[in-house]
Structure 1
Amino acid sequence: MSHLNEHISRVNEKLQLLLKQYHTLVKENDRLKQDLEQIKASEQNMKEKAAGLQQQVEIAKISSGQAGQEVKSELEKRINTYIKEIDQCIALLGNQ
């Protein structure tokens, strides 16, 4: 009977150890998920900054006369799109 008790005791100890490891891994997993979300947010922020800087470079090239025709036409398309959106907004405000 004592052999059975010893075996049950060892199984219980191993189970406790596994539970402790499980909880540790769950905590680490949660921390890693939070880190990943922060990194994703940081990456998105960096992409937005890079896009803004790229636009500034294009504007600087255009204003200094160094831009090619392709860049100028792209900027012109973008400006026309903005103007159309503004016109639509004005029209919607006028209908109210």
Structure 2
Amino acid sequence: MALEQYIQRIDDKLHLLLKKLQQVQAENVLLKEQLQSQDETLAAQQETIAALENKLHLARIAGATQGPATNKEDDEEFKKEMRNKINDYIKEIDRCIALLNS
């Protein structure tokens, strides 16, 4: 009789363990879905940030070209930004020409 009770306790514990496994698996699926949703939200927010930063950069350039610089530091910063932007455009043009030539 003691052996049957021992086997019954093991069986009960096994069923409890299986039930907990199912709960953990269900929670894991839910957490994965939440993570994917948050990843998508983060990607969308990063795209929005990049677009807004680009707009801000363009607005600064447009604002700097419409009026005189308020001080020498602003003027130097504007010149530096413009040089960098022109250099980026030149690099992009060089890449396009290289692609056309190949």
TM-score range, shorter chain: 0.7 to 0.9
User: RCO higher in 1 or 2 (8 Å CA, sep ≥ 6)?
Assistant: 2
Scaled by the length of structure 2, the TM-score of the pair is 0.72
Structure 2 segments unaligned to the other structure (5+ residues):
none
TM-fit CA distance, 1:85: 1.9
Equivalent residue, structure 1, for 2:4 = 5
TM-fit CA distance, 1:32: 0.8
Counterpart AA for 2:97: I
Cα RMSD (Å) of the superposition?
Answer: 2.3
Structure 1 distance, partners of 2:94, 2:51, is: 24
Scaled by the length of structure 1, the TM-score of the pair is 0.76
Structure 1 runs (4+) greater than 4 angstroms displaced: none
Structure 1 segments unaligned to the other structure (5+ residues):
none
Deviations along 1:30-73, one digit per CA (max 9) or x if unpaired, are 32123213212321221221121012012112212378342552
Between the aligned residues of both structures, percent identity stands at 38
Instruction: Give the total of aligned pairs.
Output: 94
